[in-house]
Chains A and B, each alone.
Chain A
Amino acid sequence: MVQGSGVTAAKTKLSIRGATKHYGAVTALADASLELREGEFLTLLGPSGSGKTTLLMMVAGLVPPSSGEIWIDGKLATYAPPNKRDIGIVFQNYALFPHLTVRENIAFPLRMRRVAPAEIEVQVKRVLEIVQLPHVASRLPRELSGGQQQRIALARCMVYSPSIILMDEPLGALDRQLRDQMQLEIKGLHARLGITALYVTHDQEEAMAMSDRICLMNNGRIEQIGTPQELYFGPHSVFVAQFLGESNILDATVRQVGETMTLSGPNGLVLRGRGDGAAAGEPVKVIVRPERLRLLSDREAAENSATGTLRETVFAGGVTRYFVALPNGPVLSAKQLSAGGEREPRVGDTVRLGWSAENALVLRQRAAQS
């Protein structure tokens, strides 16, 4: 089975080219382009109103685009009706037909395709085995738990092997624990069956845990597409850096360009970082993840360091967070494995934070589109 993003030879299952949607004067989606390869798990991630659901509904054929093209499995499908598209959707509330039993629900797509009854029987049984729920076949949806409904909705999609399975926040209605479990299950099914999936969520952790690639959206635009690692470690914009994980963001001006840049930060702080494209004298943002900031001991040196006052300590079990206020400047957040014992600094102490140039990412103010 094909899995992971390393395979580039895989067939393109979905191609979105310049898809745009206007509602009156409002632009819900602007010029979105995206390719989905066979067996890939791609997540549309973004805050509400970012256009991710519009894009998904466009692929499903439930929202016609204002302009642009959509190709599914090599066929033009921009304005094709939903029943002629060879896609499957798992809706947020599952949309299981309340008046049909589980068996009838799963049989529905096959009936619509006029599959022979004997074959339907076999197929329904097969997918119920896959989702490990063969015993609920004659129950009604409302007699199932949330997790079971979720799996049946998935089974109903898989039974006719559509080119792509679309999932619209399918775990949104489940509680935390069940959600974690279902994440693993869906990922397992994806890996085992080689499903090509387009997944929508606003939960960044869910997106990072499940996806081969993430398409991060904001304000009806695609901000960045890449593997979770690429997005986390190499955000193209402040929005991406802030949306995925936590970030310390410092205003700075480029002093010297090179393999390692030299910048002047707030209050005369001299910073070193990495980044492309910025020219000397350009105002930029420097991004540092809290877990990359270390509390330095007296003698310890680092490529970047800043001294400030410890404002607050938040102990959260395995990790401890420190909020350090720089003189007349921003408050930096540092996250470290909890040390315990006597060596913990106290609130009010003067502490020194350090980080490497490698972990200080320089972002240009209005770049990142390329």
Chain B
Amino acid sequence: MSDIAPIAGRRPISQAPWFRAWPIYPLLAFAVALFLYPVAQILILSIFDSSGHFSLANYTRIATTPVYLQTLIITFEIAGWTTMLAMLAGYPVAYLLANSSTRVRDSLTLLVLMPFWTSFLVRTFAWMILLGRNGAVNRLLISLGITDAPVSFIYNFTGVMIGMVHAMLPLAVLTMLSVMQSIDTNLVKAARTLGARGGQSFWRIYFRLSLPGVAAAGLLVFITALGFFITPALLGGRRETMISQVIISVIQELLNFPFAGALSVFLLAAAAIVFYLYDRLLGMSTLSGGASASELAARGDRSAIGRIGAFVGERLIAALGWFSDRCGDFWDRLFPVRADRPHRGISRAILWTVGLLIVGFLCLPSLFVIPVSFTSGTFIAFPPEGFSLRWYQTYLGSVGWVNATIRSFIVAGLTAVVSTVLGSAAAFVLVRQRLFGKVAILSLILAPLVLPRLIIAVALFYLYARLGLVGTVLGLVLGHTILAVPYVVITVMAVLKTYDERLDQAALSLGASKLQTLYRITLPQIRGGVIAGFLFAFITSFDDLTVALFVTGGSTSTLPRQMWNDLLLQVNPTLAAVSTVILVFVTAFVIVAEMLRRHASARGI
């Protein structure tokens, strides 16, 4: 529409692209003031000493103190193992989802999404109930006579792995799924008719084409895992201390912002190095589904590292294909294929078994908080002793808990409203208008998804301390909006992309004003996407501990903050009652949001 040249004279200001893009400016200003500026400040702060002079003292301190280096190594070790295990467990689930009928896929996806949105705290707490010394698993093992003494599942590396893989699995599955769904199913069929056995066609064609998804998922999981602190703090031992925990204690105990900034730079540098290596090895374009490494390698326009990576990768895939081919040959010799009667694929059965086991691992543990919350005993125990509502009474009778709950709802509600308004307006501009530097703007808005949340929290704390926003609802809402707005932008953009703009043009040509068109034509049709964005924003705020950790405290706690305090100090059945309430609430929310999103995208097509 904007491409029509004015008939005569100068273009009025209202037609200028920069003017027409006004709906994006509030969010842009918001992101610059509350994200870009504070984060940059905290990072820059790290290269000054306390008297304001340039100094690398913070960095030399990190580099020369073994404890910090040790922490960095452990952080990488944990993130690395988490990534590997999450990929291994996530691949079969994503494959199953991508290759099932729509109905099966929809319900399985919901099972994967649910833990994705369920509070980390609740999930981690569930693992404590399950795997503790007197937890359900140990009781089972002892009563079956498999062990005499309780096995230490948690407060060590194993515990951290279980918790982190559990936390990262949904992200891994969903990222791989998006690539797998774009693979043409005819390709595998074609490979089969061209003479490839099942294994060969899987490795050489399907697996090879799903690699961009595997790589992207690996990258996202690794970078997210680098910033973790809840799981290692609650399920790890003294050795499993990650860099985020150190940053938290540096702030909370020493209030040393420059040093926390330096540690943040290390964390970011680690993420950047991973990004860089990824790009060299696989090409950034794979993230967006462009040409992949071997294609480029085939034509020689690749870096040396890239070429080696591609070569090794192709060899590996060929070897895997060859190996499964030989296995298949051997199997056929044992059980020759009969052409005269139907046969059932056992590989499909194995896949389903493995896939459902992993989905069970994903969904079931959280449910254990429910029976535990009804115990009549004074301690967390599974199976619970008797039945009572006393812990719900304790929860609802405690001023601290009730206030935290109310505050969480208020903050989440306000965050959702602000995010939806800012995010939807920006999404309109991003989808419909040509904009100078659109990619950069979108990156800025979505960056809080990738940047370790802790760094944002520390930066906001530093900013708020000077503005007097610490401990205020306003400060919390502003901070949560930074975290929640990307979800709104993504969902609304997705709906708008499928929306036929000619409907708006038709409305305008029929005499409706722009505002009338928006309210009567556009909004009713994209309503599902907007509401879904609202709900996701609500959940993001409702669940957040990281920002709340710094910006709230004492009498201004939110629900996650209150839980965190109790989890660190004294684990008690009240937590199970609170967790159950959160679980039920969040589950209902996610189901509604997901249904609306699907409804919206189904209508959009």
B-binding residues in A (CB < 8 A):
60-62, 64, 75-85, 87-89, 91-93, 95, 97-99, 101, 108-109, 112-113, 138, 140, 156-157, 160, 166
- Is B435 interfacial (CB-CB < 8 Å)? no
Q: List 14 A-B contacts (CB under 8 A).
A: A79-B340, A79-B341, A85-B193, A88-B193, A89-B189, A89-B190, A93-B184, A97-B190, A97-B191, A99-B294, A108-B194, A112-B196, A113-B195, A160-B195
Expressed in whole angstroms, the Cα–Cα distance for A99 and B187 within the complex equals: 11
| Cross-chain contact A78 with B339 (CB below 8 angstroms) | yes
* Chain B: minimal CB distance from A68 (Å): 12
Q: Which of A62, A64, A75, A166 has the most CB of B within 10 A?
A: A62
Partner of A95, one of B187, B198, B200, B208: B187
Contact A78-B340, Cβ < 8 Å, known A95-B187, A99-B292, A113-B195: yes
Interface residue count for B (Cβ, 8 Å)?
30
Expressed in whole angstroms, the Cα–Cα distance for A83 and B195 within the complex equals: 4
| Cross-chain contact A80 with B339 (CB below 8 angstroms) | yes
| Cross-chain contact A62 with B195 (CB below 8 angstroms) | no
- Is B356 interfacial (CB-CB < 8 Å)? no
Chain B, 153-201, CB within 8 A of any chain A CB: 184, 186-187, 189-198, 200
Partner of A97, one of B192, B193, B205, B341: B205
* Chain A: minimal CB distance from B214 (Å): 14
Report A-chain residues with C-beta under 8 Å of the C-beta of B238: none
Expressed in whole angstroms, the Cα–Cα distance for A78 and B195 within the complex equals: 17
Expressed in whole angstroms, the Cα–Cα distance for A101 and B291 within the complex equals: 13
The count of A-to-B residue pairs whose CB atoms sit within 8 angstroms is: 89
Expressed in whole angstroms, the Cα–Cα distance for A82 and B196 within the complex equals: 9
Chain B, 278-332, CB within 8 A of any chain A CB: 292, 294-295, 298-299
Expressed in whole angstroms, the Cα–Cα distance for A83 and B199 within the complex equals: 12
A interface footprint on B430-455 (CB within 8 Å = 1, 0 otherwise): 00000000000000000000000000
- Is B338 interfacial (CB-CB < 8 Å)? yes
Partner of A98, one of B209, B339, B340, B341: B209
- Is B397 interfacial (CB-CB < 8 Å)? no
Expressed in whole angstroms, the Cα–Cα distance for A113 and B338 within the complex equals: 20
Closest residue of chain B to A81 (Cβ to Cβ) is: B337
Report A-chain residues with C-beta under 8 Å of the C-beta of B200: 112
| Cross-chain contact B191 with A89 (CB below 8 angstroms) | no
Expressed in whole angstroms, the Cα–Cα distance for A57 and B298 within the complex equals: 34
- Is B53 interfacial (CB-CB < 8 Å)? no
| Cross-chain contact B298 with A101 (CB below 8 angstroms) | yes
Q: A81-B192, A83-B194, A91-B190 are in contact. List 18 more A-B contacts (CB 8 A).
A: A62-B189, A62-B193, A64-B342, A76-B340, A80-B339, A82-B192, A84-B339, A89-B190, A89-B193, A92-B186, A95-B186, A95-B190, A99-B208, A99-B294, A108-B191, A108-B196, A112-B200, A156-B194
* Chain B: minimal CB distance from A296 (Å): 51
Expressed in whole angstroms, the Cα–Cα distance for A346 and B340 within the complex equals: 67
Partner of A79, one of B190, B192, B194, B343: B343
Expressed in whole angstroms, the Cα–Cα distance for A156 and B187 within the complex equals: 13
Expressed in whole angstroms, the Cα–Cα distance for A82 and B186 within the complex equals: 13
Report A-chain residues with C-beta under 8 Å of the C-beta of B337: 80-81, 84
* Chain A: minimal CB distance from B407 (Å): 52
| Cross-chain contact B294 with A61 (CB below 8 angstroms) | no
| Cross-chain contact A79 with B338 (CB below 8 angstroms) | yes
Closest residue of chain B to A103 (Cβ to Cβ) is: B298
* Chain A: minimal CB distance from B314 (Å): 10
* Chain B: minimal CB distance from A171 (Å): 16
Report B-chain residues with C-beta under 8 Å of the C-beta of A87: 193
Report A-chain residues with C-beta under 8 Å of the C-beta of B195: 83, 109, 112-113, 160
Closest residue of chain A to B183 (Cβ to Cβ) is: A98
| Cross-chain contact A93 with B186 (CB below 8 angstroms) | yes
Expressed in whole angstroms, the Cα–Cα distance for A64 and B342 within the complex equals: 7
Closest residue of chain A to B187 (Cβ to Cβ) is: A95
Closest residue of chain A to B201 (Cβ to Cβ) is: A83
Closest residue of chain B to A157 (Cβ to Cβ) is: B194
* Chain B: minimal CB distance from A149 (Å): 13
| Cross-chain contact B193 with A79 (CB below 8 angstroms) | no
* Chain A: minimal CB distance from B469 (Å): 52
Expressed in whole angstroms, the Cα–Cα distance for A95 and B298 within the complex equals: 20
* Chain B: minimal CB distance from A272 (Å): 52
Expressed in whole angstroms, the Cα–Cα distance for A108 and B208 within the complex equals: 14
Report B-chain residues with C-beta under 8 Å of the C-beta of A97: 187, 190-191, 205
* Chain B: minimal CB distance from A180 (Å): 25
Expressed in whole angstroms, the Cα–Cα distance for A93 and B187 within the complex equals: 10
Closest residue of chain B to A153 (Cβ to Cβ) is: B190
Closest residue of chain B to A91 (Cβ to Cβ) is: B186
Report A-chain residues with C-beta under 8 Å of the C-beta of B184: 93, 95
Closest residue of chain A to B299 (Cβ to Cβ) is: A138
Report B-chain residues with C-beta under 8 Å of the C-beta of A89: 189-190, 193
Partner of B193, one of A76, A77, A83: A83
